[in-house]
Structure 1
Amino acid sequence: MSYSQFTLDDIEPNFNVTITEKVGIFNEIPPKKHSQFLQELLNYNIPLALDIATEKARSEMIITPILIELKKQFNSQISLFSGKEFNVDLEKGLTGYCDYLISYSPSQLLIKSPVITLVEAKNDNIQSGLAQCMAEMIAAQLFNQNHSNSIPTIYGGVTTGTNWKFMRLTEKIIEVDSQEYFLNPISKIIGILSHFIRTGADSIGLHP
């Protein structure tokens, strides 16, 4: 089994977690200013990606530029992995490739302290990526525990490129924000992702 094979029905019984839903968990997080370069890039890329209408186009033209902007804003003190193999526990099925991982480390050679997992939704359907994202979050939590990284919360997101849904894992509780967030304004997405990084880092005394 791998991350992409999990269904929502698998997550609670397989990992002894509880999934809860609430509207607007992250809605109060303020937008964060982004570069004019990103805005100009997305203004050009988004219509093109939507016309091409493939997951690869959305990934390369929309999602990746946003995450690179995030890495720049944190002065490259966080690491960004795309399509990286992340094998944590074979017996539990926590193996396979992650669409995106963000880690509390400047190193791009090794995954050291994963904090955010992002899944690209299949067939433009947010629901299709929820279970995969949850499994990757659980793997990130287990990885950190095995490496004595006392990171209290793992965050996750599923995106079509234009629509985003976020969640968080704390101990054995996965909280899913039922609200979807959109690219307009992109500053809201940047704000939420930045908040995830800053909140977790502050809780363990890191300053990326």
Structure 2
Amino acid sequence: MIPGLPADIDTIKGFLAEDEAQALYHYAGESLPLGPVLEVGSYCGKSTIYLGLAAKDQGSTVFALDHHRGSEEHQPGEIFHDPDLYDDSTDGVDTFREFRRNIRKAGLDDTVVPVVAGSALAARHWQTPLGMVFIDGGHSLAAALEDYRCWAMHVVRGGILTIHDVYPDAHEGGQAPWAVYQMARDSGLFEEVARVRSLGILRRL
């Protein structure tokens, strides 16, 4: 049982299985002594809460990076589009209001730092070494590669890189995260630690 986990966590919009969430909490807790956590792709904050609770335990920080306009698969007409997250006033997806409400309800306003931007912009002048990076952004090959190239090398030695939606079998899910996971694993810079369902976990050498 994770201390402080909201009773309604299962009602928060997201695509994270319970065992994956537990693994995020565990590896965040393990890596936070090395530096803060950065999450790429927060959506409505479900995964952020698990990371944030680990960081709160240690008086550390989670940087939650997302432009909050939805990934390719969240747009109107796509398979994961949610009409409740569509903002008619801006004629587009907007997950930031839902994200902020969930983070506040979880008591994590003093732990989670929202970074409302894309990877390339946020990484342009980034200087903070990171104990853990969790990549769960856009699932096109271009988006997944950009997230990896922008953030993987900010993980300190001994730190953790996690990538979500890693599916070796194309019948189970998209292949871009799997391709990036293989790239990281075969780079000589990371070693595979574990895979929990579709969550790939690597350690920086």
TM-score by length of 2: 0.32
Q: Which has the higher contact order (CA 8 A, sep 6+)?
A: 1
Structure with bigger helix share is 1
